[in-house]
Amino acid sequence: MDFGAPHSAISSPAQVTLLREDLDRQGKRLVFTNGCFDLLHAGHVRYLAEARALGDALVVALNSDASVRELKGPSRPVNTEEDRAEILKALRSVDAVCVFHQPRVTGLIEQIRPHIYAKGGDYTIASLNPEERGALEAVGARIEILALVPGRSTTATIKRMGEARGPEEKTAPKLRIGVLGSGEGSNFQAILEAVQGGGLQAEITCVISDHGESGIMKAAQAAGLPAFFVDPGPNPLRFPDSAQKEVCEHLKRASVDMVVLAGFMRVLREPTLSEFADRIINVHPSLLPKFKGSNAVQRAIDAGELETGATVHLVTAEVDGGRILGQAVVPIHIGDTPAVLHERIKREEHKLLPRILSEWKPSSMATCP
């Protein structure tokens, strides 16, 4: 039975719904899974075979090219959705491939009403997207989490391909940066401009904010970068465990090499601190160790300081207490308001932060005290 258009391996949701109804009549079960499946590897093949073995037919919901870009950054997918679908469809385990364009697969779940939903072991039932989980429960689908095959991933494959190139074609791998911010996003913009201008060999693979409408979110979206809002909950002084976990999952999924807190006004804690130990930096508007914590600009004026500045430092469990990587001094003028002084400090931050990033040597940082 062929569920694709003549020259396409992609089935429409309506075609897959027919397949499900057909299976229903025979008392058989449809398994549903979803993913990007860019650069198929042995881990994918084994995972899909296991998913197929849970029922009698398997449909793969494939992220569209635009949604892969949103999740993984502008350099992905390596293969187009048409090609990815064709390769998947050639597998014995795969009966149909659908492409979905929305960030979530909820609509397809509701339409296809699969009997079983399979997901890779980088998720737990608790960490499934609540909207998708709700849709699965509403259609009565059984959720099965399948163990991932260790050491097999598209990102690892791409890395190995880079390493396998001849010396003449080798270029330094680009640093993959995740940026967290809460406000205007001028520091994010400075990093982005350094990347775009070629002064910083890096790519921003993930932007996260605790404010859906913040300047940093809008700037990231305008630049076509994957931007994620993480709901901080109602208490402005708390960033709850669920949000802390969500941040870490986004960063891991975007395979970031390092994390930059660029005006992130929440305290970052576990699991990100351990997962990215010695690879998280923060920019702070004072000459640390002076004026740690909030309102640093106002407090420098109130203290009658003649100068303050900007600091970039490693992030540890002690707020604003990690090793200092660089500082810039900024004079305080008579009559400065906090807003005026903060703008002067930011001008220095916009030079300091990209410079520290361009000098970033992960291994040497990790061994420093």
* Residues forming the site for ligand GAR (CB under 6 A): 181, 183-187, 216, 262-263, 283-285, 296, 346, 349
CB of 157 to ligand GAR, least distance (A): 35
CB of 356 to ligand GAR, least distance (A): 13
For the beta carbon of residue 369, count every other beta carbon within 10 angstroms: 3
Report the residue number, 57 or 312, with the smaller CB distance to ligand GAR: 312
Residue nearest to ligand GAR (CB): 263
Radius of gyration (C-alpha) of the chain in whole angstroms: 24
| Alpha-helical runs (H) found in 78-214 | 81-89, 106-112, 130-138, 154-164, 186-196
Residue 324 and residue 312: Cα distance in Å, rounded? 6
CB of 295 to ligand GAR, least distance (A): 8
Report the residue number, 52 or 346, with the smaller CB distance to ligand GAR: 346
Report the residue number, 91 or 352, with the smaller CB distance to ligand GAR: 352
CB of 111 to ligand GAR, least distance (A): 41
Residue 30 and residue 23: Cα distance in Å, rounded? 7
Report the residue number, 77 or 185, with the smaller CB distance to ligand GAR: 185
CA 123 vs. chain centroid, Å, equals: 14
Burial bucket for residue 148 (CB in 10 Å: 0-12, 13-18, 19+)? middle
Which residue's entry shows tokens 């494939």?
62
Burial bucket for residue 230 (CB in 10 Å: 0-12, 13-18, 19+)? buried
Phi, psi of 178 (to 5 degrees): -105, 130
Report the residue number, 112 or 283, with the smaller CB distance to ligand GAR: 283
Residue 149 and residue 189: Cα distance in Å, rounded? 38
In a 13 Å sphere around the CA of 292, the CA atoms on its Cβ side amount to 10
CB of 338 to ligand GAR, least distance (A): 11
Residue 110 and residue 120: Cα distance in Å, rounded? 20
Report the residue number, 64 or 189, with the smaller CB distance to ligand GAR: 189
> Which residues have a catalytic role annotated?
284
**Identity at 229, one-letter amino acid code:** F
